[in-house]
Amino acid sequence: MPGSDDCSSRSQDSFNHPSAPLSTGRLPRNNTLHAQEATGWKYGAPHPFRVPTCSTCPNTPGQPNVYSFFESATSTWQYIVTDPTTKKAVIVDPVLDFNAASGAITTKTADGLLGFVKENGFEVIMLLETHAHADHITAAQYLKQKLGGVPVGIGKRITGVQERFGKIYEVPKTWWDGAFDKYFEDDERFMIGDLECQVMHLPGTHPGPRWIYVRRWTLRRRHALLPRADFPGGSPMDLYNSIQRVLAMSPNTRIYAGHDYPPEGSKQVGERCWSLVSEQRLKNVHLKARLDEIAASSSPASQTDGSEGLAERLMNAFIEWRAKRDSGLGAPRLIHPSLQVNICAGKLPKPDAQGMRMLKIPLQIPEGL
């Protein structure tokens, strides 16, 4: 891998023989790589770097190489997307380490991404945020500083999210207004080297989320097609329509998830960080369950009203179910620290008169206390 375009998910033979076929998915579990996979790091290189958890690298002109890094504390997938021809790259949704109990901020996760970039000779041209995350603090500003001031980009609808949460947390407008360097228009196209990319506006969780579409490779801002819709400005109907837009894409389009929540009691991340549109059409548990409910509850007469009637019933069933399910979900563990920093593109609060940087946590107080 060092000094070449080899993909991190190749077997050991592939490291020794660049002509060997590529594999995709999780890193191989062989004796040579087992130790570095267990820690997620490689320390013997000039720049200690994080080993990708999952990679897909066709090494074909016009197709992206996608390196995926799972951050276990927040169950977040981070991505480095590169053009194999020019080695231009973007980093998507990087995580800043934050200890909520002590307030300590560290940069080990972000430094691992930097080391991987340096080890492979990539040129990062932009840091991309798919939305204002409510589950982790972005490392965008730290990486911007380390990478010589590369711009931080996000969709233009972030301004509504900034306005809403800026008021909640009393963040001065001067601190969040214009905090990002690039505000993408809906469906705007941009380049990563020779790769043409497109921004897709897919609301639902809240008004701002974006996908990044690169030649049938799509980076998703939450877990694959199963996000919640109860945040301020969220809409189950918008979410349903966004899902339908994705399911209408080419069946071979890969959807890269923003999160992966292993089953309770298990620390094992899923075998891969992506799924195909065709798989989501057939296996998406939440949508399939709604179809089964409709089929079970429909009378023979109602089953003859055609595809339009079925589509409307599916939409209504999904909206009703999504609203009911969201009502029982708790808030993300880091929602308050994350939003205060992320609406400001990762800029930390300014020091107060005592030199302390403070975050606010709104309290929910029972009546009479």
Whole-angstrom distance between the N-terminal and C-terminal Cα of the chain?
A: 60
Domain of 125, CATH number, reads 3.60.15.10
The H-or-E segment that residue 98 falls in is strand 95-98
In a domain, 17, yes or no: yes
In a domain, 350, yes or no: no
In a domain, 347, yes or no: no
> What is the predicted pLDDT for the residue at 215?
53
In a domain, 77, yes or no: yes
In a domain, 362, yes or no: no
> What is the predicted pLDDT for the residue at 192?
95
Q: Report CA torsion sign: 285, 214, 68, 336.
A: negative
**Would you tell me how many other CB atoms lie within 10 Å of the CB of residue 352?**
9
Which of 93, 327, 100, 346 lies closest to 223 in space, CA to CA?
Answer: 93
In a domain, 144, yes or no: yes
The Cα 9–Cα 319 span in angstroms is: 39
Please give the structure tokens belonging to residue 88: 């231009």
> What is the predicted pLDDT for the residue at 218?
58
In a domain, 314, yes or no: no
CB 138 within 8 A of CB 96: yes
pLDDT < 70 regions, the chain? 1-39, 42-48, 204-234, 261-271, 286, 288-308, 328-330
Task: Please tell me the chain's helix, strand, coil percentages from 3-state DSSP, rounded to the nearest 5.
Answer: 30, 20, 50
CB 346 within 8 A of CB 138: yes
Task: Report the alpha-carbon angle 24-27-30, nearest 5.
Answer: 125
CB 274 within 8 A of CB 361: no
The Cα 141–Cα 348 span in angstroms is: 9
Residues 6+ apart with CB under 8 A from 358: 349, 352
- DSSP structural state of residue 302: G
Domain that holds residue 225: 12-278+335-342
In a domain, 289, yes or no: no
Please give the structure tokens belonging to residue 224: 């694959």
> What is the predicted pLDDT for the residue at 212?
62
- Please name the residue that has the structure tokens 């307030």: 103
Q: Report CA torsion sign: 162, 168, 169, 170.
A: positive
What is the count of structural domains for the chain? 1
> What is the predicted pLDDT for the residue at 221?
40
> What is the predicted pLDDT for the residue at 260?
72
> What is the predicted pLDDT for the residue at 270?
56
The Cα 218–Cα 204 span in angstroms is: 17
